[in-house]
Amino acid sequence: MRSSSRLVAVGVACLVAGLVAVPTAAATDTQPPTSPSNVRVLATSPSTVTISFTGSTDNVGLRWYVVRVGNRQQPTTSPSRTEIGGLVSNTTYSLTVVAVDRSGNVSAPSQQVTFTTPGWAAPTGLGVTSAAGNAVGLAWNRVTDMDPYRFLVYDNGRGEVVTKGEQVTVRNLTGGSHTFTVKSMHSSGDVSPASSSVTVMVPSTSNDRTPPTAPGNPIVVEDQDAYDFTTTWTASTDDVDPPSSLTYELLQLWAGELFVARYGITGTSTSGPFPTAVRAVDRAGNRSEPAFATLVW
């Protein structure tokens, strides 16, 4: 009994000792890092800026830095070199950097740095590859400073047709003079300056100057499995041509203007790209007002 009581006493003593040895919780860290300093712009492009800066110090440890450019914020762990994208060409930005520690404390911002992005180069070499009836083929060169998402072709300063490649055939042109230019469009939506222009005289084949009526009630239904769209509408009418001779164009909105995404559709339905609007074209090349489409899920 005496031996057993002694063991219990020793065990209790050890337990108490163990509890005493447990460290108290560390005080909450509220001290922010020092501010990043010596922010430098290393390089700019029309859509990016590359910077470096002197890193911060912290009493607990740094988590990362956050670069603030305009309304954009980008984290980084590399003070020596960080690239920020998504910028717009020919635009002046202000940039600061803050440090964030492991407790989430944020430093005061670095000194502000201002820079201006350069402009994109315009496409070059625009030329006519064919001209027959009311159709004109065009081709141009891709510039090296942009991988264009689309090319936008303009006719007499108005949006005409959108294309992915460096050539296109412009169709359904009315008789008269047509001056074409082309712009490159970046994936961000930023657009290059216009190329040099080329002018083509399209022969007039009709005295008809009255456009058809706009298509009625365009409806777009998405095939979610195939990521395809079926568009239907009510046929237009024309003062000269019968409805069966009219064709239609699918229009898409790019850079604030409507461009043809598909020419020469017959009938009153088609599948393919998502259209913003549909318009009718008669045999003289007269184009109706666009009828804006409604998407039905």
Q: Provide the residue count of the chain.
A: 297
- Statement: residue 24 has pLDDT above 90: no
Starting from the edge strand earliest in sequence, which strands make up the sheet with 37-44, in order?
Answer: 37-44, 49-54, 82-84
pLDDT for the residue numbered 27: 63
- Render the burial of 140-157: b for 16+ CB within 10 Å, e for the rest: beebeebebebbbbbbee
Angstrom distances, CA of residue 254 to CA of 159, 162, 291: 9, 8, 16
Q: Give CA–CA dist 210/236, Å, rounded.
A: 13
Q: Give CA–CA dist 69/168, Å, rounded.
A: 38
**Residue 65's CB: how many other CB atoms inside 10 A?**
23
Does the pTM surpass 0.85? The reply is: no
Angstrom distances, CA of residue 154 to CA of 143, 161, 193, 196: 18, 7, 12, 11
Instruction: Give 271-281 pLDDT, tens digit per residue.
Output: 988 999 999 99
| Average confidence score pLDDT of the chain | 90
Strand (E) or helix (H) holding 5: helix 2-21
- Statement: residue 1 has pLDDT above 60: no
CB contact at 8 A, 280 and 287: yes
Could you tell me the domains of the chain? Answer: 37-116 (2.60.40.10), 124-202 (2.60.40.10), 216-296 (2.60.40.10)
More confident residue, 57 or 8: 57
Confidence of residue 12 (pLDDT cuts 50, 70, 90): very low
CB contact at 8 A, 49 and 117: yes
What are the φ/ψ torsions at residue 166 (nearest 5 degrees)?
Answer: -95, 30
pLDDT for the residue numbered 18: 41
Confidence of residue 188 (pLDDT cuts 50, 70, 90): confident
Q: Quick one: CA dihedral 218, 276, 204, 158, positive or negative? A: positive
Which residue is it, tokens 């003593």? 13
- Statement: residue 20 has pLDDT above 60: no
Q: What is the mean pLDDT of residues 6-18?
A: 39
Going through 45-112 in order, the beta strands assigned E by DSSP cover 49-54, 62-69, 72-76, 82-84, 92-101
pLDDT for the residue numbered 58: 95
CB contact at 8 A, 219 and 269: no
Instruction: Give 119-174 pLDDT, tens digit per residue.
Output: 999 999 999 999 999 999 999 998 888 889 999 999 999 999 999 999 999 999 99
